[in-house]
């Protein structure tokens, strides 16, 4: 004979949802699960806290390592005077610079347009600089002829070091009549 665990009648029961136990057996106590809901949530909270602390710690360590944008050097060598043929205009793309060798000597003109910083082009036939971005035109001396450019092109100081290598100093601007005699 079985009795109803759900009801209080103690009679045999086959109602739906009722748990039927063999007669004489008491309802079994719930078996303690090795993981309770509280323990699970506690562990989740602990792991979340650990991940947060690790994230902040990694950010603090990254802060100690500076992310510096290193500027290009303002003084650099461009070669020997014999590297520049007489009457030539040489564009040094990585330095954004034109080096001219005239009969009077060497001179360096910035290739950076004073409008928005585009690289200007030297047009040998017209003997002028032209900006392909917005149409600024500069004469042979770097003066603005037309276009939106607000200032002339900069001329940089040149010098020869002890070993005869030509050095450019972009922190020192010179007048358009400057020539390095070689």
Region 4-8: mean pLDDT is: 55
pLDDT, residue 69, reads: 74
Does pLDDT of 34 surpass 80?
Answer: no
Would you say 129 and 120 are in contact if contact means Cβ atoms under 8 Å apart?
A: yes
- Inter-CA distances, 11 with 22, 28, 57, 121, 151, Å: 12, 18, 66, 104, 105
For 13-40, give the DSSP string. ---TTPPEEETTPPPPPPPPPSS-HHHH
Mean pLDDT of the chain: 83
- Inter-CA distances, 73 with 100, 160, 163, 168, Å: 21, 17, 20, 10
Residues 145/146/149/153 CA torsion (nearest 10 deg): -20
CATH 2.20.25.680 maps onto the chain at: 73-110+154-182
pLDDT, residue 134, reads: 87
Question: Whose structure tokens read 């650099």?
Answer: 76
- Tell me the pLDDT band of 159, cut-offs 50, 70 and 90: very high
Region 7-17: mean pLDDT is: 55
Does pLDDT of 89 surpass 80?
Answer: yes
pTM to 2 decimals? 0.60
Does pLDDT of 8 surpass 70?
Answer: no
Kind plus residue range of the DSSP H or E element containing 45: helix 37-64
* Architecture of the structural domain at 73-110+154-182: Single Sheet (2.20)
Alpha-helix residue ranges (DSSP H) falling in 65-175: none
Closest CA to 158 of 148, 145, 169, 150: 169
* Architecture of the structural domain at 113-153: 3-layer Sandwich (2.102)
Does pLDDT of 131 surpass 80?
Answer: yes
| Vertex 59: Cα angle to 57 and 62 (nearest 5) | 110
* Rounded distance between C-alpha atoms, residue 94 and residue 90, angstroms: 12
No. of helices (H) and no. of strands (E), the chain: 1, 12
pLDDT, residue 43, reads: 92
CATH 2.102.10.10 maps onto the chain at: 113-153
């Amino acid at each position: 004979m079985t009795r109803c665990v759900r009801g209080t009648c103690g009679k045999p029961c086959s109602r739906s949802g009722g748990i039927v136990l063999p007669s004489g057996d008491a309802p079994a106590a719930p078996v303690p699960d090795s993981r309770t809901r509280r323990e699970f949530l506690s562990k989740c909270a602990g792991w979340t806290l650990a991940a947060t602390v690790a994230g902040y710690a990694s950010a603090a360590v990254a802060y100690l390592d500076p992310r510096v944008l290193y500027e290009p050097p303002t003084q650099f060598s461009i070669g020997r005077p014999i590297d520049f043929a007489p009457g030539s205009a040489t564009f040094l793309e990585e330095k954004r610079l034109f080096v001219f060798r005239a009969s009077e000597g060497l001179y360096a003109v910035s290739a950076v347009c004073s409008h928005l910083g585009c690289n200007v082009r030297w047009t040998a036939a017209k003997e002028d600089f032209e900006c392909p971005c917005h149409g600024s035109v500069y004469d042979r001396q770097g003066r603005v002829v037309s276009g939106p450019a607000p200032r002339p092109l900069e001329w940089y100081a040149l010098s020869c070091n002890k070993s005869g290598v030509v050095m450019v100093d972009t922190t020192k601007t010179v007048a358009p009549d400057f020539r390095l005699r070689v």
